[in-house]
Amino acid sequence: MKLLLDEHIDPEVAEALRRQFTRLDVLSIHETPWAGLPDAALLEILDAESRTLVTRDVNSVPLHANRRLESGRTYGGVIYVDSKRLKQTDTRNLIRRLAPVVEKYGEDDWSCRSGWL
């Protein structure tokens, strides 16, 4: 599993996950040139990289992911962060919720998969 943390997720989450899981390939979007890209373009890049998006965007990302599937294309996977359960400023609990996902699915291919935290 390779992860990309979306713009509304503190880069500290990527740093903490790298410390905890030394083999995990995890990036904050702020470490890439992809910040600010439209969702459709970002999903295209992540598909090519087999990278799973971790995002709070539950409005447009699912729409674009479904459009990709409907047109016969794939996407790199998405993990949605439930903003009702995990506030944007609750970095510590986000790390705690992501860690078991990485432990359980860290070696899996998440192409065209989605899940919720």
Answer yes or no: are the C-beta atoms of 55 and 80 closer than 8 Å.
yes
Tokens 């949605």 belong to 80
Task: Report the greatest alpha carbon distance in the chain.
Answer: 38
Strand 52-55 to strand 114-116: parallel, antiparallel, or no bridges (unpaired)? unpaired
Q: Residue 94: which CATH number?
A: 3.40.50
Reported as a single tens digit per residue, the pLDDT across 53-111 is: 999 999 999 999 999 999 999 999 999 999 888 888 899 999 999 999 999 999 999 99
- The two three-digit tokens of residue 110, written as one number: 């998440």
Residue 40's pLDDT is what? 97
Res 21 pLDDT > 90: yes
| Distance (Å, whole) CA 42 – CA 67 | 14
pLDDT at 34 over 90: yes
**Into how many domains does the chain fold?**
1
User: What range does the domain containing 88 cover?
Assistant: 2-116
Alpha helices in 4-107 (DSSP H): 11-20, 39-49, 60-70, 91-105
